Chains A and B, each alone.
Chain A
């Protein structure tokens, strides 16, 4: 599978929205998320599966971060 499951530090807003703040890589390295540009339901055709897709800007670059609906796990597509 071309999925990279990652740790995510997120803020759960009082209205139920989820705002990811930091991606924590397997080696423990932290990537702060500058902004979240879009949140929508989407399929990941590269990695496989569906979920909520957060379009994030990390160090000036756009990256998709997915939250799997069923297992509530976060993943990013492998480049």
Chain B
């Protein structure tokens, strides 16, 4: 029996939530954008009218207003979006427990086993769309197919508030003519490589030689071929499925550009403090530290290095990041954003080689201090106790 998988995509999610709470903006171009005073003034989402005027997600607000002078920009309210996302997922869960969220506004649903109760895939998709529209006042597009990839293509195919079914029979008409970049996991670089091979549409990709694709793109080539042919076997995970994080990281864009390493030290300490809390919650130690930074010309760079031994020590990780940044960047241009990330985790219970050259006693003391700070912060509120160095970083947060 073929699987029946839905992919549900909430249309212009942030903008739709805001439009619902601002009926006075009905019929006007509306966008949700970051705060320019915090130097986060980019478009995060826009409604259909703004889209028609050429406004694009990710562009600066001033650029968007140039294209669309009457554009209304509202600040994001993430609490509201989380609430809406939660409500939508509660609707999904009335039809199946196999609900795999993909961000706040998308999810796959496997309704193969629910058809006897609620009707076929299209009926369930239409019911869900209607409920989202009536109960939450926003719209969704749903794709129905026998695999996750085609279901996602279906939800992108017709917007807003539409259901698209992709079957083996209509695959040639719907899927094959789509540009190859529409396929999941085909980014800009992969698209360029595929174009170089004469592959422009998903149909071209599905007819391409699988061995040649694997040679050119490695494992990804084989995977994309299965995607294009609708043979992706991956399952929709149950809603309560939990996968441990493979990395923890934070990036900030402070209100002022950063001109030397001393301004970055407190920032890295603040970010690392948070990261280490998350690592402790997952009961892991990291073996690698990575940093990212973006200069004032908006060019991103990243560097990573190994730690001498697995750690969850704030000072050790933050200093490693600072050392790495000092070595790799000369501050020819000021930095606009910086971030730090830990990865390559080992479980704490695993036996670890101790080092003769590390002061284990002091490290243990540090650990006790950090755990105590975390307990105090959990009990009395975030940041009620911080390191002295973190106070210097408040200006740059």
Contacts and interface: CB of A to CB of B under 8 A. Distances in A.
Interface residues of B, number: 13
Nearest to B21: A48
Contacts of B23: 2, 45-48
A69 to B, nearest CB: 8
A70 B86 CA distance: 13
Report the contact-size class of chain A (Cβ under 8 Å from the partner): 10 to 19
A39 interface: no
Interface in B130-156: 133-138
A48 B83 CA distance: 15
Given A48-B21, A50-B20, A43 B83 contact: no
B22 interface: yes
Contacts of A44: 137
A2 to B, nearest CB: 6
A10 B135 CA distance: 23
A43 B21 contact: no
Interface in A34-79: 40-50, 70
Nearest to A41: B135
Nearest to B138: A43
Query: Which one of B83, B87, B134 has the greatest number of beta carbons of chain A within 10 Å?
Result: B134
Nearest to B132: A43
A43 B22 contact: no
Given A41-B135, A43-B137, A44-B137, A49 B83 contact: no
Nearest to A2: B23
A40 B134 CA distance: 10
A49 B87 CA distance: 13
A45 B138 CA distance: 10
A45 B137 contact: yes
A43 B135 CA distance: 5
A25 B24 CA distance: 24
Contacts of A50: 20, 87, 135-137
Contacts of A40: 134-135
Interface in A9-46: 40-46
A13 B35 CA distance: 46
Interface string B288-321: 0000000000000000000000000000000000
Nearest to A49: B21
B20 A48 contact: yes
Interface in B165-188: none
Nearest to A52: B135
Contact of B20 (A2, A41, A45, A70): A45
Contacts of B136: 41, 43, 50
A6 B133 CA distance: 26
Contacts of B87: 50
Nearest to A50: B136
Interface in B82-114: 83, 87
Contacts of A1: 24
B79 to A, nearest CB: 9
A42 B137 CA distance: 7
A48 B135 contact: no
Contacts of A42: 134-135, 137
Contacts of A49: 20-21
Interface string B1-33: 000000000000000000011111000000000
A1 B83 CA distance: 21
Contacts of B20: 43, 45, 48-50
B185 to A, nearest CB: 35
Nearest to B135: A41
A31 B133 CA distance: 31
27 contacts: A1-B24, A2-B24, A40-B134, A40-B135, A41-B135, A41-B136, A42-B135, A42-B137, A43-B20, A43-B133, A43-B134, A43-B135, A43-B137, A43-B138, A45-B20, A45-B23, A45-B137, A46-B23, A47-B23, A48-B20, A48-B21, A48-B22, A48-B23, A49-B20, A49-B21, A50-B87, A50-B135
> What 8 A-B pairs come out closest when comparing CB atoms?
A43-B137, A41-B135, A48-B21, A48-B23, A43-B136, A50-B136, A45-B137, A42-B135
Given A43-B134, A43-B135, A49-B20, 16 more contacts: A1-B24, A2-B23, A2-B24, A42-B134, A43-B20, A43-B133, A43-B136, A44-B137, A45-B20, A46-B23, A47-B23, A48-B20, A48-B23, A49-B21, A50-B20, A50-B135
